[in-house]
Structure 1
Amino acid sequence: MTDLDPIARPLDHLPARGASDAPALTDRAGSLSFRELDHAIGALAAWLAARAGSGDRVASWLPKTRVACILPLAAARAGLVHVPVNPALRRAQVAHVLADSGATLLISQPARLATLAPEDLPPVMGTAVEADCPMDGPGLTASMADPAALAAILYTSGSTGRPKGVMLSHANLWLGAISVAHYLRLTPADRVLAVLPLSFDYGQNQLLSTWAAGASVVPLDYLAARDVVKAVVRFDATTLAGVPPLWVQLLEADWPAGTAASLRRLTNSGGALTPRMVRALRDRFPRADLYPMYGLTEAFRSTYLDPALVDAHPDSIGRAIPFAAVAPVRADGRRAAPGEPGELVHAGPLVAQGYWQDAERTAHRFRPAPPWLGEGMAVWSGDTVVEDAMGLLRFVGRDDEMIKVAGNRVSPQEVEEAILSGGEALEAVAVGVRDDRLGQAIVAMVAGDAAREAGLRTRLRAELPSFLQPQQYRWFAELPRNANGKLDRAALRRLATE
């Protein structure tokens, strides 16, 4: 377990926390020690610095390769800002991230780059293939970056419009890594199986918190639950982070005798676990500590539930993590009383620097903390929680209309725009409904001719990643409207569940 040190340092200093010859990263090709990891960071940082200027944004669109794992630290060492692009995104979404971030360099693979048209790339942006990224040779030494400097922009969907970039400093990422390594009680003997996308804050922290603890990370891109089971066996994994849909799949998978009992730690975020799922996970993985957690990219992680409390409080998201100040707040700015619903507000050094080039949305979400909670800016989550007499929080619901599909925050407007772009439908509203496997599934409420559904589905399969695909279409001659003539989204949400 790492010391709970509140002093932030440049992000690229994290490998120094591990024993030099101990394994830091392990995959099918073998292992990199912490000494070799630091050397690879330096080599890649020097290569990046020769291709981009200080403060430039460098984007990566990669699966979970060694280069993808090293880039967050290499970019930080080179004085650049890393913009990881979700590998599941398609051309239109990638083009938006590249244009919005103003990236000057995109690192990807030939097959991915071939899917982009010339107009998808900003005029000032260059491209490079992953195979050209050096992992050896002369490199830069550890940086002296200001911990408050911008280190990364992570794109997350908003309640309206296209994905927005959350600005994270070295301090945000460093203290997030220290906090998680501490409360998960990670040790150098742990092997963390990293299955979540590195473009997510939760996924990227798999790397950073593991290295902060001097432990070894095993990056894995999987197609089916059995791939995860095999990796647990092959790499003797002790720790697995997931989202509810993955746990559903893993609970249905066949586990070799003794393998499920070998896991020591399970962590969940990206959606609440149901009490039924908590019981199932406790039965299937009897020797694993289960950590339910709640977070939002704008403040990384807010709460966790101590494993000792899980059985008695299976519907709780716990208390604030180290370095976070979290509380339910009433509409009048006072702290909500036990049992009284309030908006979850998060203050402290994990709060991000706002949204990239979006002052209006930043002002809406990032506002001064209530004086009784802390100083500086706080994230007003828009989520309603209730605190019990023990100080444990329970998630009640979202105030916005975001849809949570397999751990991905989906903007209804993004789905609606894609549906309408081909002309098959006259109007469209995307609604999230409960789904045991996905957490939520997208139901498209559309006005138009149902005979055009097959063509619409075919087009969207080519244009959108799987998590943005509607699972069901409901067709109407016209969609209901409210007294103001606007689409009645509340009525449509009710219809979607009938």
Structure 2
Amino acid sequence: MTTGNPLPGPSTPDPTPYPLDQLAERGDAQARALVLKDRVLSFADLRERVSLLAGWLAGQCEAGSRVASWAAKGELTCLLPLAAARAGLVHVPINPLLKHAQVAHILADSGSCLLMGTKARLQTLEDGDLPQGCRAVDEAEVFASAEAAAGCLGPSDSDPDALAAILYTSGSTGKPKGVMLSHANLWLGAVSVVDYLGMSSDDVTLAVLPLSFDYGQNQLLSTWYAGGCVVPLDYLFPRDVAKACARHGVTTLAAVPPLWVQLTEMEWPAEALASMRRLTNSGGALTVELVRDLRALFPEARLFPMYGLTEAFRSTYLDPDLVDLHPTSMGKAIPFAEILVIDDEGSVADPEEEGELVHCGPLVAQGYWQDAERTAERFRPAPDASTYGGTAVWSGDRVRRDAEGLLHFVGRRDAMIKSAGNRISPQEVESAALASGLVAEVVAIGVPDAQLGHAIHLVVRAAPDASGDMEAELKRALARELPNFMQPHVYHWRETMPLNPNGKIDRTRLEQEIGA
């Protein structure tokens, strides 16, 4: 399809998808679009560089081929989502924290014809890691080659339903699987986020999350849809985030709970607090205590708790005006998403009745790359009650909808701990431990037990100001808050929690370490 400018503005969420590369055509030509370490790109520069990169990419592989990137945040990784789409290729962003064996799996599984990465990372590849027909290119050579070729491509007329990207999950349930996203999925995700966050052209987003993560990549796409500026940051320490917020006048900061915990435990420059308009959270639920800490640290910023899954990008958000009253709620559906709660008989659950969250609508991905079996498990016909119909994502997450229409997370069907005949939500145990004020981070895990079925193991990191006999105090606190059958049987104290490549607590690693 061919489109003309101006495209619909962020003030009215337009359900019409466009080719993804046309995000480069938005924004005032002289306005800042991307702040790099050594220079700043205006929107005019962004258009020129996307055009140049797309022209070079089109000469490297046939249309529809997959091209992978394995590098830190920079010009290449930020522009590739648009440039690959313009060239008619499918972008496969690989988390820069992954090691060569995981990269080899992704390259082989996706059938990528090209891997662009930093020299140091490419040098870690071993014989056989690059599949036949795939070649590696140092990212430093990409733009030099593109400039030498001087072949530019203008905005495409790609079918919005065409495949634009394959995002690989972190592999918490086995080998990473690739989620197929179309131009429409990514475009409408950007439109939706801009609408409910209320973003505008004077916004500055600090992109701290991995660009291989759907939530991380949307930091780019939604900001550019709004005509705003992105500041990509690979941070070593939490204080680097605060310093960058102050230096660049950041208005929008997205993070996952483990990072928020670290950020609330440090001092912030006054100028960083003054510019902040909104905080967004996904990748795990906020606790009552963390909401309290964020609201105290950023009293003028609007806090958006969100829920999402890579298979449908984002599903719900909680209106900031409701955060103080309902701090643990998932909120309601975002624009372009229809969220149903389906009971075990396949009907829409009654208010306060537990059921499975089912996501319907145009944000639903196209399935798992070359994996019909797992696609059929999660991507199934929408329930009869759906107004969208078509294919829906059956999340596996258990939720309930209250009388006010707000959703609340109960637990994952496959993560529920079954102990002494009781179904126990790990999140409920974790929330009680956090509410004690004695711990900063906690994970509840069910470990096989001959008598109980599963024994509850609690892995905890103490609060910074905690002292004394922490385990005894925590046991007393949990005894006050939880019934006997929910009391942890074993405690594991840690100085730090392991994190997966997306910055979330690595539950799979913890399970392996304690023998779950």
Instruction: Establish whether residue 23 from structure 1 lines up as the match of residue 37 from structure 2.
Output: no
- Offset, 1:259: 2.7
How is 1:36-51 mapped onto 2 (pairs within 5 angstroms)?
Answer: 36-51=45-60
Q: Which amino acid aligns with 1:133?
A: V
Q: Is residue 10–residue 146 contact of structure 1 (8 Å, CA) maintained in 2?
A: yes
Q: Name the CA shift for 1:264/1:473 in 2 (closer, same or farther; >3 Å).
A: same
Instruction: Establish whether residue 217 from structure 1 lines up as the match of residue 226 from structure 2.
Output: no
Q: Is residue 245–residue 437 contact of structure 1 (8 Å, CA) maintained in 2?
A: no
Instruction: Establish whether residue 73 from structure 1 lines up as the match of residue 82 from structure 2.
Output: yes
Q: Is residue 86–residue 153 contact of structure 2 (8 Å, CA) maintained in 1?
A: yes
- SS of 2:329's partner is coil
Instruction: Establish whether residue 364 from structure 1 lines up as the match of residue 377 from structure 2.
Output: yes
Deviation string for 1:246-279 (max 9, x for gaps)?
1011001111234324311000000000011111
In the alignment, what sits opposite 1:127? 136
Instruction: Establish whether residue 186 from structure 1 lines up as the match of residue 199 from structure 2.
Output: yes
**Please, which of 312, 337, 340 is the counterpart of residue 325 of structure 2?**
312
How is 1:88-107 mapped onto 2 (pairs within 5 angstroms)?
Answer: 88-107=97-116
Q: Which amino acid aligns with 1:84?
A: P
How is 1:394-473 mapped onto 2 (pairs within 5 angstroms)?
Answer: 394-401=408-415, 435=460, 470=509
Q: Is residue 249–residue 271 contact of structure 2 (8 Å, CA) maintained in 1?
A: no
Q: Name the CA shift for 1:437/1:22 in 2 (closer, same or farther; >3 Å).
A: farther
How is 1:464-483 mapped onto 2 (pairs within 5 angstroms)?
Answer: 470=509
**Please, which of 5, 9, 12 is the counterpart of residue 3 of structure 1?**
12
In the alignment, what sits opposite 1:146? 159
Distance 2:504 2:24 in 1: 35
Q: Is residue 204–residue 249 contact of structure 2 (8 Å, CA) maintained in 1?
A: yes
In the alignment, what sits opposite 2:213? 200
Distance 2:462 2:91 in 1: 32
Q: How many residues align?
A: 430
Q: Name the CA shift for 1:206/1:384 in 2 (closer, same or farther; >3 Å).
A: same
- Offset, 1:2: 4.1
Distance 2:458 2:169 in 1: 20
Identity of aligned residues (%): 59
- SS of 2:397's partner is strand
After superposing the two structures, state which structure 1 stretch, 143-152 or 465-474, moved more: 465-474
Q: Name the CA shift for 1:235/1:366 in 2 (closer, same or farther; >3 Å).
A: same
In the alignment, what sits opposite 1:420? none
Q: Which amino acid aligns with 2:406?
A: L
In the alignment, what sits opposite 1:278? 291
In the alignment, what sits opposite 1:483? none
In the alignment, what sits opposite 1:239? 252
Distance 2:457 2:156 in 1: 45
Deviation string for 1:12-36 (max 9, x for gaps)?
0012221111111113323111111
Deviation string for 1:188-214 (max 9, x for gaps)?
010000000000000000000000000
TM-score normalised by the chain length of structure 1: 0.82
Q: Name the CA shift for 1:45/1:95 in 2 (closer, same or farther; >3 Å).
A: same
In the alignment, what sits opposite 2:182? 169
Distance 1:62 1:344 in 2: 35
Distance 1:260 1:188 in 2: 20
Q: Is residue 58–residue 80 contact of structure 1 (8 Å, CA) maintained in 2?
A: yes
- Offset, 1:332: 1.3
**Please, which of 39, 62, 84 is the counterpart of residue 93 of structure 2?**
84
How is 1:368-387 mapped onto 2 (pairs within 5 angstroms)?
Answer: 368-373=381-386, 374-387=388-401
- SS of 2:357's partner is strand
In the alignment, what sits opposite 1:53? 62
Q: Is residue 262–residue 287 contact of structure 1 (8 Å, CA) maintained in 2?
A: no
Q: Is residue 62–residue 109 contact of structure 1 (8 Å, CA) maintained in 2?
A: yes
Deviation string for 1:151-179 (max 9, x for gaps)?
00000145632010000000000000000
Alpha-carbon RMSD: 2.6
Q: Is residue 358–residue 394 contact of structure 2 (8 Å, CA) maintained in 1?
A: yes
Deviation string for 1:84-123 (max 9, x for gaps)?
0011101111111111101010000111001001211101
In the alignment, what sits opposite 1:354? 367
Q: Is residue 384–residue 395 contact of structure 1 (8 Å, CA) maintained in 2?
A: yes
Distance 1:473 1:160 in 2: 12
Q: Is residue 256–residue 504 contact of structure 2 (8 Å, CA) maintained in 1?
A: no
How is 1:297-308 mapped onto 2 (pairs within 5 angstroms)?
Answer: 297-308=310-321
- Offset, 1:236: 0.7
Q: Which amino acid aligns with 1:379?
A: V
Bigger relative contact order, structure 1 or 2 (CA pairs below 8 A, ≥6 apart): 1
In the alignment, what sits opposite 1:256? 269
Q: Structure 1: state its 5+ residue gaps.
A: 405-411, 413-428, 439-459, 476-491, 494-498
Q: Name the CA shift for 1:200/1:334 in 2 (closer, same or farther; >3 Å).
A: same
- SS of 1:193's partner is strand
Distance 1:36 1:138 in 2: 16
TM-score normalised by the chain length of structure 2: 0.79
- SS of 2:206's partner is strand
- SS of 1:120's partner is coil
Q: Structure 2: state its 5+ residue gaps.
A: 1-9, 417-425, 428-444, 446-453, 464-497
Distance 1:320 1:466 in 2: 23
Q: Which amino acid aligns with 1:21?
A: Q
Distance 1:83 1:400 in 2: 28
Q: Name the CA shift for 1:466/1:375 in 2 (closer, same or farther; >3 Å).
A: closer
Distance 1:158 1:304 in 2: 25
Q: Is residue 166–residue 352 contact of structure 1 (8 Å, CA) maintained in 2?
A: yes
Q: Is residue 108–residue 128 contact of structure 1 (8 Å, CA) maintained in 2?
A: yes
